[in-house]
Amino acid sequence: MSSKIEDENRAVMMLEKSILRAKSILEKEQKLKPFAMILYDDGSIKTIHNQVEDPEESYVLLQSGLKIRVKEGGVDVIVLLIDTIIPERFSKVGILEGIRVHIEEKSKDSERVGARFLYVPYQLCKTASNNEIFADLYPPVPMSFPAEFILFKENS
């Protein structure tokens, strides 16, 4: 059995990995197609993309895929990311363009509010010297809500 600190460390590690991946994609492509990452109980990580161009449709397909994978078992942490406009009431820095990270952890499956959104505001900028694009990320804004995926296994 893992401790609460170990569980939090695994979730933070997945957040870091997924946000760094999103930042890299933004810098390379100047847009972010939705993607998901799964941390399994054995420590392996799987990244899931699809070829659907419409971001909303892609996101819905990723959600369906996550529900199936959770039903199969062995899922510890999931993150699902999409490029979004941050609702003004959640924008702490006045920047509305952001990455929305949906995270759920098996360790929180008994909690009433077991899932979180993190809105990560960003700006795409160019360097003055060589016009290279970089993503300037700002502190995330967290929101909690009831889990959708991890609890799906028990509710189906």
pLDDT on residue 149? 76
User: What are the pLDDT digits (tens) for 63-89?
Assistant: 999 999 999 999 999 999 999 999 888
Question: For position 131, what pLDDT does the model report?
Answer: 86
Does residue 154 or residue 106 have the better pLDDT?
Answer: 106
pTM summary value: 0.84
Query: Residue ranges per domain, the chain?
Result: 4-149
Cβ-based neighbours of 138, under 8 Å, separated by 6 or more: 92, 93, 95, 120, 121, 122, 123
